[in-house]
Structure 1
Amino acid sequence: MTAPAADLQGRSPWSILPPLCLGFFMIMVDTTIVNIAVPTLQDVFDASLVTVGWVNSAYLLTFAVLLLVTGRLGDRFGPRPVFVAGLVVFTLASLACGLAGSVGLLIAARAVQGIGGALMTPQTMAMITRVFPAQKRGAALGIWGSVAGVATITGPVLGGVLVETVGWEWIFYVNIPVGVVALWLSLTRLPALETHSRTFDVPGVVLSVVGLGLLVFGLQEGPTYDWGTIVGPVTVPVVVGAGVLVSGAFLLWQRHLGDDALLPLRLFVHRNFALANVAGAAVSFSMTGIFFPFTLYLQQVLGLSPLHAALVGLPGSLISGVVAPFAGRLSDRVAGKWVVATGFCVLAVAIGVLATQVQPGVEVWRLVVPMLGFGIGTGLVFSPLGNLATTGLDQRTAGAGAGAFNTNRQVGGVIGSAVVVAALTSRLAVTMPAAAQDAAAALPAGLREQFVDGFRQAASQGLGAAGGGFDAPADVPADVAEQLGAAARAAAEAGFAAAAAQTLGLTVLVLVLGAVCAFAMRGGRPGNAVQEPVRAASAAG
């Protein structure tokens, strides 16, 4: 559906993309830009790794749990004012982050920044869905999807440059000029779309925020507490279980309210919408599963600096930004399911090849090549998948649908983070001692058992290649100490590389699930597919 001509004041629908893409770019960059500055923030604030980890966790937590609510706010008050409000909140919070004098203030400002991102994100998809006609919507979402691809790697690269030159504060200050330009463009180019007055689902808001908040917190912070006690009788399983129960109560309440619900469940009657939500969670899971072990491998095994490690993925990210608009246009001409399915297959093959190349001492170009395939796959998946998720949603539910899609995608990333950390840790407990056993064969017989036990203990404590595995006894000759050091480095690097490769293999399985979902979607011609979901959902209602 298109917006009324008066809303656009005679301008082309394409005029709305600059402010939407600038806002979305800031949101996506800020999900990754802080990771590169973690060691610096530890030194500046004299804080632990767990405490500094909350600088990113606070942002992701508020961002994820509010997407359903903010999507519905766009339906109720209009996408334009909600987007503008989010942009103002995000920009001012960025200023507060840079000015923070303590890690506590920085964490609080990042939480507010996540609120701003949550206000903006559903409005970008909802406005594109409502303003662009069906035959041009894929191309528009292609440009929107290319922003995600470019921002994926821009965050680490830009963060590395800023931290090493002008200081950590500028990873936040850089948002201010971008936010001001996006705000001016939003006020001058975004149309005022029709709103839909209805009773706001306050109980649904409370249940969704509490349920998702508990789930996201438990899954995201589970590794921090070793999946055990948080405080007193409160444990990670208790928090996750409570999140499941509250989320179940939320779904029952939504079913009771019908079309007046925060999340109208009739949206999921449309097969493509339901499957696109699963596929979106799968691709976010996989992207988290790829970058976490791969980045650690590049720095701890290959010894690359944070900036050089980020540059390994740069060619693939640039290709993703080029492929995404073409994939969006292609999904306007052929059934989008085939584009998405092809993208998932390319991703699965690329990451499978990458897993075979993750070895100590490998030449970097052998890693760049499969990352190019990763860029092509993400470019093929992101924009057509967003189109498949929102095509056929009417104007009354466009915001709710966009909110649900982005929520599931974000929660998929959180689940991916938790599962991958747990998988990597469990594999290290096996691969590190095994690598130590192989390396110990060349050591003096009296030191072999002690050598392997040292690595077994390090692996049980979650230490990787950087943590080491064995300290040479003080009374050994210098040549033996040198031999022990070389064997320890070789074992640590081999063990960590093996664990990282096996963890990457886990993401391949999840990508196969995404491909299955894509193949199971309805085919049909793009033009005809638009009306079918509306009729099906109306009949089901």
Structure 2
Amino acid sequence: MRKWLPLMTVCLGTFMLLIDVTIVNVALPDMVGDLGASFGALQWVIDAYALALAALVLGAGSIADRVGHRRAYIAGLVIFAISSLMCGLAPNPGVLIAARTVQGIGAAAMFATTFALLNSAYAGRDRGSAYGIWGAVSGASAAVGPILGGLLTEGASWRWIFFVNLPVSAIAIALCVTVLADAHAPARGRVDVGGMVSFTAAAACATYALIRANEDGWSNAGVWWLIVLAAVLLAVFVAFEARSRHAMFDLALLRNRSFVGVLLAGFLLTFAAFATFTYTSIWLQSVLGLSPLGAGLTGLPMSITAFGVSAVLGRVLHGRRPDLVIGAGLLFIGLGSLLTAALVHGPASWPALVPGLAVIGVGVGLATPILGSVSMSLVPAGRGGMAAGAVNTTRQLGFAFGIAALGSVFAARAQSSLSGGGIPDAAHVAHAIAGGQTPGLLHAAPSSGRQFLDIAAHAAAVTGVQATLAVAGAVGILASLLVVILMRPARAASREDERPPVPQPALR
């Protein structure tokens, strides 16, 4: 039992940081009433955390390689715990948003070191089992967040969604001190400040652009200026890395098709598997009238299958070709999304989601743990933070881009449905439905036309959800093909301590 304590330690941190991406969603209405802020302003309670996590995880991984993965993980836990306390005590929206930003910094330090710590603690089939359990926890966390958030908000207060992190963090810190160890000495060299600043700024601009696109649409000029600025900053980052003797990301890795395949898989997996949750939740709560807890519970089929597949097959899949395992996982995600799109129509309600979500869960359970293990096999042990940071950065950006892109798809299809139904100002109504404002629309409508608008909103929301699921399904299937093509030469995860039979980059 003691040998699994390092795994428990890493999984506690992973569970906390990932459920905090989604746990806040269901508590926003209560926060609005308690703090006296607008719903739009408090959206930054979600976005500030996601922005900090996506922008900083690669830089945090680079620092962890230099100061030690265990030390960086403990520091992340401490920052996460203190900021969680500040979130729970926040007297106004400004303090809450600032504390959530700091919480994202702590989460980035934890997320960037998980793979390296698992590699240090386990070898052989035990490593396969460890990645399987970690993948199960990771895959289930996104769906568990709304359920736990609903329970705490309805049973106690929205503040307890943050206070609950304190005892969990205390246990994780105590375990870190006693059971975690770095198998490899910290890498020598200076911290790549130029590369870190330029990449963090580029990732922050890109993520913020996607958030703005989801709120204001892709026609907004500010969105495109942010995208241009992100591209310029990314070019500056590449220039820094090409010249630096202590680069935080080795650009030579991008010549390794297997590593590029892993990055692409991380990006497209979160896009296809998780971004649709935002819009199915809007449909369930603001259109069908489910409670936050009820909407959260619809994600259980995915959580259960993801957890079961990862936990049971993690040890079995150790030694199998990673291109086929990850490709199969993405294919299941794509097929599950298409199945859900076919079942969600007309008068459909939440049961229509169950079969497809279960299939998506199988895909998440197959692909998630392998992503971590194969990325670590492609770099020396001392650069594990860099590899984990790169993969987890693409995962977070895939989620942000998926929400923005699918939001545009939802609004466009809803607008088409409303226009065909004779609703005036269909574009405004469609964006309001996509933003979860259907109850407000119905309340403001004249009583004589309320029933007609309600029927039209139901039809538009179903059409929008169908479209997002269809796009996610197509992305999952396309991702499966691309990953198999890119990763086919790699056999990095086939046996312990082997490297793929492809030229390996010279790492600085």
The question of a shared fold, defined as TM-score above 0.5 by the shorter chain, is answered with yes
What is the CA deviation profile of residues 56-112 of structure 1, one whole-angstrom value per residue up to 9, with x for unaligned ones? 111111111111111011110110111000000001111110000001000011011
Give the residue type in structure 1 aligned to 2:119. T
Query: Is the CA contact (8 Å cut-off) linking 2:214 and 2:405 kept in structure 1?
Result: no
Counterpart of 1:246? 233
- Superposed, 1:84-123 pairs within 5 Å as 84-123=74-113
Give the residue type in structure 1 aligned to 2:424. D
Counterpart of 1:257? 244
Matched, 1:329 2:315: yes
- Superposed, 1:28-177 pairs within 5 Å as 28-177=18-167
Question: Offset of 1:318 from its aligned partner?
Answer: 1.5
Larger Rg: 1
For residues 457 and 269 of structure 1, the distance between their equivalents in structure 2, rounded to whole angstroms, comes to 46
For residues 230 and 456 of structure 2, the distance between their equivalents in structure 1, rounded to whole angstroms, comes to 41
Counterpart of 2:424? 453
Counterpart of 1:7? none
Determine helix, strand or coil for the equivalent of 1:263: coil
Counterpart of 2:498? 531
Distance 1:129 1:494, change over 3 A: same
Distance 1:311 1:460, change over 3 A: closer
Counterpart of 1:354? 340
For residues 169 and 27 of structure 1, the distance between their equivalents in structure 2, rounded to whole angstroms, comes to 16
* TM superposition score normalised by structure 1: 0.87
Counterpart of 2:468? 503
Counterpart of 1:487? 452
For residues 458 and 384 of structure 1, the distance between their equivalents in structure 2, rounded to whole angstroms, comes to 43
Distance 1:207 1:460, change over 3 A: closer
Determine helix, strand or coil for the equivalent of 1:199: coil
For residues 470 and 45 of structure 1, the distance between their equivalents in structure 2, rounded to whole angstroms, comes to 23
Query: Is the CA contact (8 Å cut-off) linking 2:374 and 2:492 kept in structure 1?
Result: no
Question: Offset of 1:526 from its aligned partner?
Answer: 4.0
- Superposed, 1:176-325 pairs within 5 Å as 176-193=166-183, 194-227=185-218, 235-257=222-244, 260-325=246-311
Question: Offset of 1:314 from its aligned partner?
Answer: 0.9
Give the residue type in structure 1 aligned to 2:481. V
Determine helix, strand or coil for the equivalent of 1:30: helix
Determine helix, strand or coil for the equivalent of 2:112: helix
CA RMSD of aligned residues (A): 2.4
Determine helix, strand or coil for the equivalent of 1:239: helix
Determine helix, strand or coil for the equivalent of 1:453: coil
What is the CA deviation profile of residues 232-262 of structure 1, one whole-angstrom value per residue up to 9, with x for unaligned ones? xx8221122111111111012212226x201
Matched, 1:375 2:366: no
For residues 209 and 460 of structure 1, the distance between their equivalents in structure 2, rounded to whole angstroms, comes to 31
Range moving further from structure 2, 307-316 or 457-466: 457-466
Question: Offset of 1:123 from its aligned partner?
Answer: 0.8
Give the residue type in structure 1 aligned to 2:410. L
Query: Is the CA contact (8 Å cut-off) linking 2:123 and 2:496 kept in structure 1?
Result: no
What is the CA deviation profile of residues 160-196 of structure 1, one whole-angstrom value per residue up to 9, with x for unaligned ones? 0111111111000000000000010010000144111
Distance 1:380 1:51, change over 3 A: same
Query: Is the CA contact (8 Å cut-off) linking 2:116 and 2:388 kept in structure 1?
Result: yes
For residues 321 and 519 of structure 1, the distance between their equivalents in structure 2, rounded to whole angstroms, comes to 24
For residues 120 and 214 of structure 1, the distance between their equivalents in structure 2, rounded to whole angstroms, comes to 22
Question: Offset of 1:366 from its aligned partner?
Answer: 3.1
Give the residue type in structure 2 aligned to 1:404. A
For residues 384 and 510 of structure 1, the distance between their equivalents in structure 2, rounded to whole angstroms, comes to 19
Q: Percent identity?
A: 31
Question: Offset of 1:342 from its aligned partner?
Answer: 1.6
Aligned length, in residue pairs: 503
Determine helix, strand or coil for the equivalent of 1:197: coil
Query: Is the CA contact (8 Å cut-off) linking 1:62 and 1:111 kept in structure 2?
Result: yes
Question: Offset of 1:373 from its aligned partner?
Answer: 1.1
Question: Offset of 1:220 from its aligned partner?
Answer: 1.6
Determine helix, strand or coil for the equivalent of 1:167: coil
For residues 510 and 486 of structure 1, the distance between their equivalents in structure 2, rounded to whole angstroms, comes to 36
Distance 1:271 1:486, change over 3 A: same
Counterpart of 2:406? 420
What is the CA deviation profile of residues 473-503 of structure 1, one whole-angstrom value per residue up to 9, with x for unaligned ones? 68xxxxxx4xx54333222101210121012
Query: Is the CA contact (8 Å cut-off) linking 2:53 and 2:108 kept in structure 1?
Result: yes
For residues 279 and 472 of structure 1, the distance between their equivalents in structure 2, rounded to whole angstroms, comes to 45
Question: Offset of 1:528 from its aligned partner?
Answer: 4.7
Question: Offset of 1:143 from its aligned partner?
Answer: 0.9
Matched, 1:403 2:374: no
Distance 1:539 1:248, change over 3 A: closer
Distance 1:487 1:329, change over 3 A: same
For residues 498 and 528 of structure 1, the distance between their equivalents in structure 2, rounded to whole angstroms, comes to 47
Question: Offset of 1:525 from its aligned partner?
Answer: 8.0
Distance 1:387 1:470, change over 3 A: same
Question: Offset of 1:534 from its aligned partner?
Answer: 8.6
Question: Offset of 1:134 from its aligned partner?
Answer: 4.5
What is the CA deviation profile of residues 195-217 of structure 1, one whole-angstrom value per residue up to 9, with x for unaligned ones? 11112211111111111111111
Give the residue type in structure 1 aligned to 2:231. V
Determine helix, strand or coil for the equivalent of 2:415: helix
Query: Is the CA contact (8 Å cut-off) linking 1:469 and 1:492 kept in structure 2?
Result: no
Distance 1:528 1:538, change over 3 A: farther
**Structure 1 unaligned spans of 5+:** 1-10, 438-451, 475-480
